[in-house]
Chain A
Amino acid sequence: NTKITQSPRYLILGRANKSLECEQHLGHNAMYWYKQSAEKPPELMFLYNLKQLIRNETVPSRFIPECPDSSKLLLHISAVDPEDSAVYFCASSPRGGDNERLFFGHGTKLSVL
């Protein structure tokens, strides 16, 4: 799915700061960050709609999202913890409505040493 691009694809960190990036070329208004730990389903972290933060699930404060425009989403992580090792997916949907299909990117696999 090249319509939602995420970078980097793989990230190996010690206790450092890093940012994940996502861009969607679908013209969607809503963008999401999901976290998928090993052997677990994806879990919602943040939802933006038209650049406004709409949902902020119970996420450690070291995760800070940013939506510079409606097609881009960033996730800043400070002082990563081993429990942060997971795949982070960016997703988008047309309007952020309750019955919409989500389109996911390929994900960024974060490995914390």
Chain B
Amino acid sequence: QQKVQQSPESLSVPEGGMASLNCTSSDRNFQYFWWYRQHSGEGPKALMSIFSDGDKKEGRFTAHLNKASLHVSLHIRDSQPSDSALYFCAASESNMGYKLTFGTGTSLLVDP
């Protein structure tokens, strides 16, 4: 069973729209959360991190973390066709020699 579950599996939004991606962890040992994006044929690339409860905004991207419920979300404002990609939530445990566990992924399609 995946320790990091994402929803939805796939998402389609119009250009300029808002995309909302969700992530839930089943392991309370996870301390640090990241969002990674993977375009087809490429390796994952880190978008942003969130380590504390609340919101964190970086440009068009806003992440939210609720440690009590182990829920992380990513909201993409003014979505662009170039945002079409596979998005992974990733979590790591402290003091474990750095193992980053990736979530199940959400495929985002932004329609021009």
Contact = CB atoms under 8 A, between A and B. Distances in A.
Interface of A: 1, 4, 30, 41-44, 47, 49, 54-55, 57, 89, 91, 93, 96-107
Nearest to B32: A99
A93 B44 CA distance: 13
A42 B103 CA distance: 9
A107 B97 contact: no
A1 B95 CA distance: 29
Contacts of B101: 44
Interface in B66-112: 88, 92-105
Contact of B100 (A4, A102, A106): A102
Contacts of A93: 98
Q: Residue among B93, B101, B102 with the most chain A CB within 10 A?
A: B102
Contact of B97 (A43, A54, A105, A106): A54
Contact of A97 (B98, B102, B105): B98
In the A-B complex, the 7 residue pairs with the smallest Cβ-Cβ separation, listed nearest first, are A104-B43, A41-B102, A99-B32, A101-B46, A54-B97, A98-B94, A55-B97
Nearest to A1: B43
Given A41-B88, A42-B44, A107-B43, 8 more contacts: A1-B43, A30-B98, A41-B103, A98-B92, A98-B93, A98-B94, A100-B98, A101-B49
B57 interface: no
Contacts of A30: 98
A102 B101 CA distance: 12
B12 interface: no
Contact of A41 (B51, B96, B105): B105
A103 B34 CA distance: 13
B88 A47 contact: no
